[in-house]
Amino acid sequence: MSTKKPAADTSQVAHDSSIDQDNLDPKRRRLLVGGMSAVGGLGAGALGVSMLASMSPSARAKAAGAPVEADISKIAEGQLLTVEWRGKPVWIVRRTAQALESLKNVTGQLSDPDSQEEQQPAYAQNEGRSIKPELLVVVGLCTHLGCSPTYRPELAPPDLGSDWEGGFFCPCHGSKFDMAGRVYAGVPAPTNLEIPPYSFIDDNRIIIGVGEEVAA
């Protein structure tokens, strides 16, 4: 009489194998996720390097605060040109004869008419706060909280009064400056607008960030 051996119970083996597989999967998942993150990090780093490398030398230099050239040849009388220097707006205004004359008329209304506060280089410590009378070069940020004033060259507008002879008005808190960037008395701004270091390359170009004493 033949004796049949009982069939091996594979269900338990299969069950145990599935338990081992379940135990291994989280580890594998962690390894896979870690590997993918590392690759992603390398990709992002490479992208950052690529973007940095794509910046032109002049763009990197400007971002670091390098001097900036400006063409002034096409600025008509009364017009304002804005350029960026060290992340700040710098205004270049070609003043009219009337604007220059107004500087004398408003002296008694100003807080610092003689520019005693050190808001300008020594070569710009004069009535026009400039190297050449007709050209004003000034940082376009209010000295109160850093808002950007508006250029208001018109005479006696209704919102600024009959004694307004042109200048800059900050709509944030009402500070007023004349056509030389000198601050009016009784307004929130404590000092005149800042005059940056600058010099003339020739009759048509100036360089902001290099002072007259350096360029001389």
As a three-state string, the secondary structure of 65-108 is CCCEEEECCCCCCCCEEEEEECCEEEEEEECCHHHHHHHHHCHH
Residues 98 and 42 in one domain: no
Residue 144 annotated among the catalytic residues of the structure: no
Residues 34 and 72 in one domain: no
pLDDT (mean) for 153-163 = 95
pLDDT (mean) for 167-177 = 97
**pTM of the entire structure?**
0.71
pLDDT of residue 132: 97
Residues 126 and 44 in one domain: no
Residue 142 confidence (pLDDT) above 70: yes
Give per-residue pLDDT as tens, 44-57.
444 333 333 444 44
Look up the domain containing 49 and give its range. Answer: 9-54
Tell me the C-alpha distance between 204 and 71, whole Å. 6
Catalytic residue among 36, 173, 204, 214: 173
Residue 148 confidence (pLDDT) above 70: yes
Q: How many domains does the chain have?
A: 2
Residue 140 confidence (pLDDT) above 50: yes
Does any domain span residue 112?
yes
Distances (CA, A) of 76 to 80, 134, 136, 192, 195: 8, 11, 13, 25, 21
Residues 75 and 122 in one domain: yes
Does any domain span residue 133?
yes
Residues 29 and 133 in one domain: no
